[in-house]
Structure formats: structure tokens, C-alpha cells
């Protein structure tokens, strides 16, 4: 079983302040780089067969990770290898196409395992769409931001990988 999870940080968490946008700038005009690295820090976890591939105490900019998983989905759908990397450290998770499976290699966790490609893609897609909804629920004006609006292109719920 593959499970990706995130949530809005608790109000008491110092990470919660990254969900507050500056009052003097519109959400749709925020620089892409700020969305990638400054706002929406969230806990992110990824478990495969009850093993922590990411997490459980990993915080990252949610928009950045949404883009990473959307990009990985597109690459794997094109029968190309993909990867998940972290800006804040040297961790890298390699995703290597192997027939109908994908080998997930997370050296920092001493994990190498094959998972069904379809199940992995479905979970990546589900995560991106759920995280996208979470961000828009908190900041509806971001729906007009070009980066956020384009993020789910090709990931519609009715388009199974």
C-alpha cells in the first residue's frame, strides 16, 4: 500500500505562519519562486507498505512538492524515470521504471522496493489533487495564479494514469 499525506499545520505550529500571505500583494501575483520555497510549509509523509519513505516529521513547501509529484507522474506516464528531491537537504528518492512496476530507491532510509506503477501514479495524482484543493480552500485567490492553475493539467480525477 502506498500512502502520501499532508495537512495544514496546527495553528500553534510555527509552520502555520507560512500559510499567511502578505497583505500588500495579491495571491495571483505572488512570484512563482515564493510559492515554491516560501509559502505553505506542511508536513509531508509517504509510506509504502508501512515503511516511511518520506516523513513522518518532514516539512516542505507544499506547492513545491505538488509540482514534484505532478512532474514525476508525467515522467512515469511517459515511461521515463523520475525523482523526488528535497531543497533543504541532499535526500533524493529515485523512481525507476521496471516493466509494470516502479523501483523506489530512498538511500537515506535504506529503502529499495518495487511497487506497481499504476498504484504509485494513482497515489501521486490523488495527493496532488488533494493538496491543490487544500491550498485553494485556504487561499481561494490562488486559483487565478498561473502556476497553481496549470498544476493539475493532465491530472483530472477522471483520467486514471
Whether residue 28 has pLDDT greater than 80: yes
pLDDT at residue 91 in the model: 81
Domain assignment present for 70 = yes
Whether residue 29 has pLDDT greater than 50: yes
Domain count, the chain: 1
Domain assignment present for 81 = no
pLDDT at residue 159 in the model: 44
Domain assignment present for 34 = yes
pLDDT digits (tens, 9 = 90+) for 127-161: 999 999 999 999 999 999 999 988 877 665 544 44
Domain assignment present for 159 = no
Please name the residues in contact with 48: beta carbons below 8 A apart, sequence gap of 6 or more: 1, 2, 3, 104, 111, 113, 115
DSSP states of 75-102: HHHTT--EEEE-TTSS-EEEEEEETTEE
Domain assignment present for 12 = yes
Boundaries of domain holding 68 = 2-74+118-150
Beta strands in the chain (DSSP E): 2-6, 41-48, 51-61, 82-85, 92-98, 101-106, 111-116
pLDDT at residue 89 in the model: 66
Higher-confidence residue of 61 and 108: namely: 61
Domain assignment present for 19 = yes
* pTM reported for the whole predicted model: 0.88
Radius of gyration from C-alpha coordinates of the chain:
16
pLDDT digits (tens, 9 = 90+) for 71-123: 899 899 999 999 998 766 678 899 999 999 999 999 888 999 999 999 999 99
Whether residue 17 has pLDDT greater than 80: yes
Domain assignment present for 32 = yes
Instruction: Find the mean pLDDT for residues 14-31.
Output: 88
Domain assignment present for 111 = no
Nearest to 115 by CA among 100, 135, 130: 100
Amino acid at each position: 500500500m502506498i500512502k502520501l499525506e499532508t495537512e495544514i499545520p496546527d495553528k500553534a505550529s510555527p509552520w502555520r505562519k507560512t500559510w499567511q500571505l502578505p497583505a500588500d500583494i495579491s495571491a495571483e501575483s505572488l512570484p512563482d519562486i515564493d510559492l515554491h520555497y516560501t509559502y505553505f510549509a506542511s508536513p509531508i509523509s509517504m509510506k509504502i507498505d508501512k515503511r516511511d519513505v518520506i516523513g513522518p516529521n518532514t516539512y516542505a513547501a507544499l506547492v513545491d512538492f505538488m509540482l514534484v509529484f505532478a512532474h514525476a507522474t508525467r515522467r512515469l506516464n511517459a515511461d521515463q524515470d523520475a525523482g523526488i528531491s528535497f531543497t533543504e537537504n541532499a535526500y533524493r528518492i529515485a523512481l525507476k521504471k521496471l516493466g509494470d512496476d516502479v523501483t523506489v530507491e530512498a538511500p537515506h532510509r535504506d529503502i529499495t522496493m518495487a511497487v506497481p506503477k499504476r498504484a504509485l501514479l494513482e497515489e501521486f495524482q490523488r495527493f496532488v489533487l488533494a493538496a491543490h484543493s487544500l491550498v485553494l480552500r485556504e487561499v481561494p485567490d490562488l486559483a487565478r495564479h498561473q502556476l497553481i492553475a496549470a498544476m493539475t493539467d493532465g491530472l483530472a480525477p477522471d483520467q486514471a494514469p
